[in-house]
Structure 1
Amino acid sequence: MPTSSVTTTALADYDPIDPDGQQAAPVASSPTAETKENRPARGSEYAVLLRRVRQAGLLDRRLRYYVWKSAVTAVAFAAGWAAFVMVGDSWWQLVVAAFLAVVFAQFAFLGHDAGHRQIFAGRQANYLFGVIAGNLGIGVSIGWWVSNHNRHHAHPNTEGSDPDVMGVLAHSGDRARTGKGIRRLIFRYQAWLFFPMLLLEAGSLHYASVRAVLRWAIPNRVWEAALLAAHAAGYLAAVFLVLSPGKAVVFIAVHQGLFGFYMGCTFAPNHKGMEVLAEGESADFLRRQVLTSRNVRGGRVVDAAFGGLNYQIEHHLFPSMPRPNLRRAKPMVEQFCVELEVPYCETSVLDSYRQALSHLHAVGRLAGPQSSAVADSRPD
């Protein structure tokens, strides 16, 4: 879960493609950020792939795509709230809540793309788009999210460095064995608890966002805090003015629960059940990204539902690549991995969940008393 305390990396300091044309991690504004020495060297295997991708024009901005995508999402957002007002004080509002949960997730995907500078060439334009979609639109701080997400991209599935594997779940046997009290109990039954806990994901995102703007030295924290407050005030005012108190509470629970559940279901296939790296483990950039990531096949419906995150391997190799180009980059990356004999993992949606849950179950057994089970860090 994304509530781990992390050292802040400014959005302005994140440059997915550095001036030398090499893929870069966040610059070293935090103790765990990668330095120049850790970035792929000119002439490396990754640099060969990068040149092929750049020559194919796959790193070029796709502004027209994002214009229509943003417009469609904004219209859906407005239509959802218009329907909310028209339906009035009725239990049919739970249908509206489910619809708005999907729309909020689509806004989150757009905020994700802006955070990676996929939409515009300049930092400030992406940041402005991000705070509108994230802070104002769905109540999630773009400044907090970028600082957290940068660490994940720099050290995917790496214990002690990736905040996404240091949350409420255990992803390795070593961590499962160290659990105590309620944490040990969660580790033990984490495969069974995983989907129910996703209903709390939106609350976790909101809590982490508020904590960040109050306690962290993120850029523009006053501006971000004001937009978060505006979102909360507008959201709560609309819900409680239209609905009776009981219905309002149920609406919020259903809407936020489904929003978090949807987001969690798009995150789960990406890395869970893939290789988990020990802190300080050495691996070159390309293998670190490919071996810890999983793609999900399924065509354009899955592309839309997952916000492009189903191309997780390509996204991790080229974070600033515009979302619609990921599909085109996939055959090129897959062929390159074949050339290098690097395993390239792709599976169906259902099998991705099976692999993730199997891994969580195997690791969770190690948190139980007198357990001698051995958990493999790779999918079955």
Structure 2
Amino acid sequence: MEVKLHDIGEGMTEANISSFLVKPGDIVKADDPLIEIQTDKMTAEIPAPKNGIVKEFMVAQGQLVSVGTTLLLLEDVHSIEMNITQPPDSKKENFTVNSDKKKRIMASPYTRKIAREHNVQIKDIEGTGPAGRITDEDVYRYIQLSKKLVETVGQQKEEHKNDQIGEKIPFRGRRKQIAKRMTQSVYTIPHCTLFEEVDVTNLIQFRNELKTTNIHLSLTAFFIKAISLSLKDYKIFNAKLEEEQEFIHILNEHHIGIATDTPEGLIVPVIHHVEQKTITAIHEDLKELTHKAVENALSIKEITGGSFTISNVGPLGGSIGATPIIQHPEVGLMSFHKTKKMPVVVKDDQIAIRSIMNISMSFDHRVADGATAVAFTNRFAQFIKNPNLMLLEMI
């Protein structure tokens, strides 16, 4: 029986073979994990469709394969029943069939990734988690012990003594998929980017006041809600262009994607139905999705269906502007950059020190015009400058 790569998520066309979880000759049961794969959005395991024996792998580790590709051959377990049940003949050579299934190694995809990156065989690690599950700490502990052994015999110094050719980083997996998606977006969408300064002084003060009542909310949660409220007035930015059918699909629900930096590269988890949620609920969703993104534990639903995307690079420092690339087939993306205190002319030509944040807004110029984009960012800035106005809109 051929076990093929199937579509495990919305729009998936190919995946990278991360590792083999079994070996030829292993007896497996239905739903046992066979191969670990990496798409542009997540790591997943391909399970056995039925009981059987692993006969032969048809792909190699690190190979990029398309949906429909045969990954391995699975022999029907009934085909060896005769060998197992046949009485031994003293005049013939006895053959023993090992029916012990390979013990399943319990570890998360991210834990397996740590082991692979350090050239560690995860099967050699003893797990200390529940039911013997291998944790990240188990892998790092094993790595440290291995390093000490290498240092003792002087191997590490010898291995790196003549290394003058630099480092080669594999261009595959999520990194390659990100490149493919970004190239598609740039070549498909005529990007136009505008820049604006937003006064966040009152919002920061309001958030600090909430902290005194033991209410802790991130600024990003306020930004997301302000985006949603602005999309109510400027729906064209919460849309998708159906170019072949010649219409623009205006979406009623606000599914906001959050560009998130992870050890494996950029990923965009999605907070669904932001238009229905409070700022507190948005904050909790944001915290949970960010944690899952770093742990590579996001579900298909949590990374699909976005209608508008944000990118908060301000906390990283240094960035005062950018030309963000839109998540195809969305229409807009807003980035929040560095916030700094600066003198500003306020009421009656007075000078005051205010906290000013730079933003970048990229939009699809086929769908919207510059004047509409300016109006949209002005509406967003109005909510941020006057957070009470934002709360009033939610009543």
Q: Classify the TM-score, shorter chain.
A: under 0.3
Q: Which has the higher contact order (CA 8 A, sep 6+)?
A: 1
**What TM-score do the two structures reach when normalised by structure 2?**
0.22
Q: Which structure dedicates a bigger proportion of its chain to helix? A: 1
- Indicate the structure (1 or 2) with the bigger Cα radius of gyration: 2
